[in-house]
């Protein structure tokens, strides 16, 4: 029992050390590394931005608009009893911008993009393509991890904004169609109670979630072993660990912003 616990702790610390080293390498090759050749990676970055952002628009839009509809219907049931149905507009907007849109968008992207990153890099690892890059003096982190990291860091906040808008539209569908709230009154109430802090806290969260998804996906992919079975195992680990860390980070950031006066 003690030996198993000790092995688990040691393996966990090694994993954390590996993730931290990868993060430092990504920061180095992004901001400090030699400038020569960086222009050649722009196409790779734009391709990853398209894969992460453009190809995720539809699923993010529908997930968040349905979430806005559900929140509006659930809260309208109680608010109507108190004669406060108009406040459904404010509740939907604040709940989505501060919490639900960043988290749900990150979970969708982690399942779609994070798994793809881990599978793609894992396949390259087991087929020795990454070793071939080393042989040609091409740094795998710079060539493979940095474009994916930057794409996620840029596109996940954009997807979160899209999710905010979609969720508010979902709330409006219920507010206008079921509660018969006038369109102008609905949006006036929405923006009366929705503050700048509600928006930027959600965007900060999405930036942190983007770092988590990129790091875990790249780390699990670059450290894949065991052939096709290892690729599947690494992909599964990437999604599960990303989900757990996203929820944990959300809890920590929510507590920070709750007690912060910023």
pLDDT in tens, 131-170: 888 788 778 888 889 999 999 999 999 999 999 999 999 9
Q: How many residues does the chain have?
A: 262
For residues 241-247, give the mean pLDDT: 95
Cα–Cα distance for residue pair 114/216, rounded to 1 Å: 8
> What is the model's pLDDT at position 152?
94
Give the start-end residues of each E strand in the chain: none
Cα–Cα distance for residue pair 185/199, rounded to 1 Å: 21
Cα–Cα distance for residue pair 52/49, rounded to 1 Å: 5
Q: Kindly report, residue by residue over 91-114, the tens digit of the pLDDT.
A: 899 999 999 999 999 999 999 999
Q: Of 235, 229, 244, 256, nearest to 103 (Cα)?
A: 244
Q: Kindly report, residue by residue over 222-234, the tens digit of the pLDDT.
A: 988 888 888 889 8
Q: What dihedral angle (degrees, nearest 10) is formed by the CA atoms of 32, 38, 39, 42?
A: -100
Cα–Cα distance for residue pair 161/254, rounded to 1 Å: 18
Write down the pTM of the prediction.
Answer: 0.91
The separation between the first and the last C-alpha atoms of the chain, rounded to the nearest angstrom, is 47
């Amino acid at each position: 029992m003690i030996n198993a616990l000790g092995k688990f702790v040691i393996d966990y610390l090694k994993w954390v050390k590996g993730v931290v080293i990868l993060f430092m390498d990504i920061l180095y090759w992004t901001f400090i590394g030699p400038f020569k050749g960086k222009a050649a990676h722009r196409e790779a970055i734009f391709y990853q931005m398209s894969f992460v952002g453009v190809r995720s628009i539809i699923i993010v839009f529908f997930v968040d608009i349905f979430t806005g509809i559900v929140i509006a219907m659930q809260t309208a049931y109680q608010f109507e009893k108190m004669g406060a149905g108009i406040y459904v507009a404010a509740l939907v907007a604040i709940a989505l911008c501060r919490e639900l849109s960043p988290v749900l968008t990150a979970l969708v992207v982690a399942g779609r993009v994070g798994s793809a990153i881990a599978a793609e890099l894992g396949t390259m690892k087991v087929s020795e393509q990454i070793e071939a890059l080393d042989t040609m003096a091409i740094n795998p982190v710079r060539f493979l991890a940095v474009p994916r990291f930057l794409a996620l860091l840029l596109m996940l906040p954009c997807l979160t904004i899209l999710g905010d808008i979609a969720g508010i539209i979902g709330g409006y569908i219920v507010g206008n169609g079921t509660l018969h709230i006038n369109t102008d009154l609905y949006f006036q109430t929405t923006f009366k109670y929705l503050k700048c802090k509600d928006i930027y806290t959600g965007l900060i969260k999405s930036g942190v979630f983007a770092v988590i998804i990129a790091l875990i996906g790249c780390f699990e992919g670059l450290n894949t072993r065991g052939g096709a079975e290892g690729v599947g195992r690494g992909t599964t680990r990437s999604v599960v660990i990303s989900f757990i860390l996203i929820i944990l980070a959300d809890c920590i950031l929510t507590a920070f912003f709750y007690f912060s006066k910023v």
